[in-house]
Structure 1
Amino acid sequence: MNQPAWLEAAWAEFGVREIPGKENSAEILRYFREAGDTSVQSEETPWCAAFAGAMLKRAGCEGTGSLLARSFLDWGLSLDEPRFGAIAVLARGDDPAAGHVGFLIGTAGEKLYLLGGNQNDAVSVAPFDAARLLGFRWPNTEAHAEQTAASNGIFAKLLTHVLDMEGGYSNDPYDPGGPTNRGVTLEVYANFKGQTIDAGSRPRLIAELKSIPDAVVEAIYDRRYYDPAHCALFTAPLALMHFDAAVNHGVGAAIRMLQQAVNVTVDGEIGPETLAAIGSRSLIDLIDDYAEIRRTRYRALPHFWRFGRGWLKRVDATLALGKSWAAAEGTTRGLLEPDQIAKGETSMNTTTTKTTDDGSKWWAQSKTLWGTLITAAATVLPVVAPAIGVSLPANLIQTFGDQVLTAVQALTGVFGTALAIYGRFKASSVLSLRKN
């Protein structure tokens, strides 16, 4: 099931919650910074709007820059009908300035089910009375496209190379990506537009894909590959190899191959260990090793017989261009100096491993049990839900389960997680749907 990128980002944060006592959750404070407010130093400040703004930012859309939930009433496009992933703005009490904001994931009678922040002090799913609704909003993705594209020169150089490699429109029956133009698949394009592919929309979306605007292409590559792969941390030759790998293999696979090339723990997260290892390697040796790992990976793929020659040529061309850049600029390192990384702290924060000092906190972030329960529920709830008037389809439930299970792959220590789960069962459940 297609879902908007901002909703994907929000599901990935499911279970993050406030820390009891005087401490503050680093994740929640980060939401404030990403939403545009650097002055907040405490999770005591209402953070539903900050969470919404941060998730939109991660998806390549600018939020309102405000911590007021009602600020979203003047943002984006107004919707007349509920829409999966739409931003729902709610009233709160009799205060005309107070409100709540979250992402719509379903309805049940007179209830709206929202995935949002500051719901029972956590990122969770919770029901709200439909009578509180002030409006549904949707990002104006076309208007934000140019804002979301990276403006630095390195990104432009990397994108030029990747688009040269990707070519124009194709619909090869052996390509699992289906209709693709300039490296953007139909599914990715529909996701960017916040639309679902079905028999009625498919011809129209394919026609749009064939004439996809440059600004939209740039925004998609920036938010789906360049930024998540943290290419801005690297000098141009390594950034080129890494960006091209992220596009062609996927961001997670690219990070793991980079970690394999520098011989560190392969966990799919660029943290201090990985960065230190990159900084200690010769740039040319590093991109040579990275290229060879990519070749090996390609040779193991079932479609190598069909696309293998082109894949290997792509790696060779990327490596040659990277080396020519290194020679022309005299670059010998793969890692930028700290003062060259304009937003290094922000980039690092998004990949730093979460602390585990608090057992309940670690369990809530791991999402292991939630993924198992909800994935299993996808086969049960669609059967029993109609009897109680709930409209949560199986593919929606399963989509959430898939998001959770992806997050689980990053966890380590089965025994430690089990102990955390045991401790967490003594506290209130994040998953329960409670009335406000």
Structure 2
Amino acid sequence: MQQPGWLKHAWPETGIREVRGSGSNPRIAALFKDAGHPQIKSDETAWCAAFVGACLARAGIDSTKSLLARSYLKWGEPIDNFRLGAIAVFSRGNDPGQGHVGFMLGESEDNIYLLGGNQSDSVSVEAIDKSRLLGLRWPAVATGNSQQQSDAKVFDRALNHVLEMEGGWTEDPYDPGGPTNQGITLAVYAAWKGITLDGTNTGALKDELRRIAGETVREIYLRRYWLPAGCADLDPGLALMHFDAAVNHGVGTAARTLQEASGATVDGEIGPETRAAIDRASATDLLSRYADIRRARYRALPHFWRFGRGWLRRADLTLERALAIADPHSRSLSNTTKGYETMQNDTAGQPAPKWWGQSMTIWGAVVTALATVVPVVGPVVGVDITGEAIRQAGGQAVQVFQAVGGLVGTALTIWGRIRATHPLERRDMNIRI
């Protein structure tokens, strides 16, 4: 049975719980915010309706925007039978104003299994007696907010691009991010779960990260990058570029890059001045400048020699796709080809080819080959290193020659491959005699 969209947003919240004492869980505060109550920061406020409202909003569905559980008795359409993800409303005590609400997962003869917030002070699944059920509801056809649904499509398109750029599991020793899956580093995953990395849990968390669910990946990107970077407030083309930069460079760096590209004061805060500068800019010019700044940043990084080609391809492809979806009605596209020309003519972003004779990798292979074949074919071409030379240097001269030559050649090949940054090209050799 296919689960509805709001359940895909509900599952990643499973396990979050209230903070004991005077503190509050920021994940619960985020539920209040997305449910339409950003002023509430405390997890001491009853939050079962906030959990339902936030999950619906994240799926592009209008909620009641109320923190009263019973408000959902007048929401959507009533249904009589079990439906996965149905909103179930229950009584709580004898007070007609009190209640509880969550998402229905299943039922038995006596109970309904509910995924809900504020259940034992956490998001969890609990069995609730059917005698308390007040009603089951399902979104009406007209309940969906078209703007929210459009925003969700913009985010999903940007997310698909980022996931394509990031790839799957990597654990490159040169990558300062460390173990990473689908662009989510181990440190980010641990922070998302509220866990401090140490020697006792690293292995288990790496195993979890390898198997991370798609719903969790989407939620992390939405909550950690898309919303904090303000991508939802940008036109789709710019949102794609800005989101990709926020993921790859960090939210703060992306904000400063956007400000620099738009000509606003660079302070890392996207406020009225920055938005006005964005509105004044040509979409094509703004996106092209944004990509240029990203390329320059990549080239300044210490690991550019290893990852530079991939980074520059990422900037180019992001620019190409952002230009293709830029909204022509909100910007002046006075030069619709400028962005593509900038990308295609950005020869500084592509390492210049060099002659193969300058390649340490090639010479390493040559030395290895010579060490192997010269003792065998030498006499054929008049180079006798197996006769008198052996008697003078000792019976193991050939073996020593081969071993040393092979070792040196292999070392040159490996080192040349590690340091390689330039493609090779064939050049005609003009030899003057």
- TM-score scaled by length of structure 2: 0.46
TM-score (norm. length: structure 1): 0.46
Structure number with higher relative contact order (C-alpha < 8 Å, ≥ 6 residues apart)? 1
Structure of higher CA gyration radius: 2
